[in-house]
């Protein structure tokens, strides 16, 4: 991993981190402030989940996202990686965890096609989410950037997420100290 980061810092490759995360109307609000006598109430709601597949660069200022309601399967990931690979301008390494969908036979079959386009897959060691920088993005979105009012409906949540993804790197930033 250190070698990949060194190659990225020297400008020889682009390094991206990929992962999936789910966003539902069961909000994640770690704390809230209220005036005495005022009640803040956010009721959990059953409903669909917005699942997001994201590819974020090592600096944390570029992001490609692919959103889907319902579960993410290998074919969805393959189409997203295809789209991502078509946008590359230099040799790129995509760091992924060991989720089943990343090891599905159809996914493995697509790897040579991506390598022809200059995209290489690097798998993190098992049980090492701390090495996947995009995990920080999911935490920031869930715990800091999504507001309580964004949980009113799936449409509100989707709009809030769209704003975060579109403004990532400008209004919404992650500062990785290397």
Residue 29's pLDDT is 60
Residue 145: how many CB atoms within 10 A of its CB? 18
> What are the residues whose beta carbons fall under 8 Å from the beta carbon of 148, sequence distance 6 or more?
27, 29, 32, 40, 42
Mean pLDDT score of the chain, rounded to an integer? 90
Residue 28's pLDDT is 63
* Alpha carbon distance 120, 115 (integer Å): 5
pLDDT single digits (tens) 12-42: 999 999 999 999 887 666 556 677 887 766 6
- What is the CATH code of the structural domain delimited by 2-26+46-166? 3.30.420.10
Q: Which of 66-70, 117-121, 124-128, 153-157 has the highest mean pLDDT?
A: 117-121
Checking if the pLDDT of 71 tops 70, the result is yes
Average pLDDT over residues 103-113: 97
Evaluate whether 131 touches 2 at the Cβ level (below 8 Å). Answer: no
The vertex-95 CA angle with 6 and 70, nearest 5°, equals 155
How many CA atoms does the CB half-sphere of 19 hold within 13 Å? Answer: 20
* Alpha carbon distance 174, 105 (integer Å): 34
- The per-residue b/e assignment along 36-55, b for 16 or more CB within 10 angstroms, e otherwise, is eeeeeeeeeeeeebbbbbbb
Checking if the pLDDT of 178 tops 60, the result is no
Q: Where are the domains of the chain?
A: 2-26+46-166
pLDDT single digits (tens) 37-60: 877 666 656 667 899 999 999 988
pLDDT single digits (tens) 72-102: 999 999 999 999 999 999 999 999 999 999 9
């Amino acid at each position: 991993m250190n070698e990949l980061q060194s190659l990225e810092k020297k400008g020889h490759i682009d390094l991206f981190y990929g992962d999936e995360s789910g966003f539902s109307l069961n909000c994640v609000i770690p704390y809230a402030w209220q005036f005495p006598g005022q009640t803040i109430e956010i009721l959990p709601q059953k409903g669909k989940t917005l699942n997001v597949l994201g590819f974020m660069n090592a600096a944390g200022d570029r992001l490609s996202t692919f959103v889907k309601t319902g579960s993410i399967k290998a074919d969805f990931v393959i189409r997203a990686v295809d789209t991502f690979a078509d946008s590359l301008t230099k040799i790129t390494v995509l760091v992924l965890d060991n989720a089943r969908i990343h090891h599905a036979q159809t996914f493995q079959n697509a790897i040579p096609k991506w390598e022809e386009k200059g995209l290489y897959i690097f798998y993190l060691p098992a049980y090492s989410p701390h090495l996947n920088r995009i995990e920080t993005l999911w935490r920031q979105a869930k715990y800091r950037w999504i507001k309580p009012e964004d949980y009113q409906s799936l449409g509100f949540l989707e709009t809030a997420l769209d704003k975060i993804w579109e403004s990532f790197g400008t209004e919404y930033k992650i500062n990785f100290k290397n």
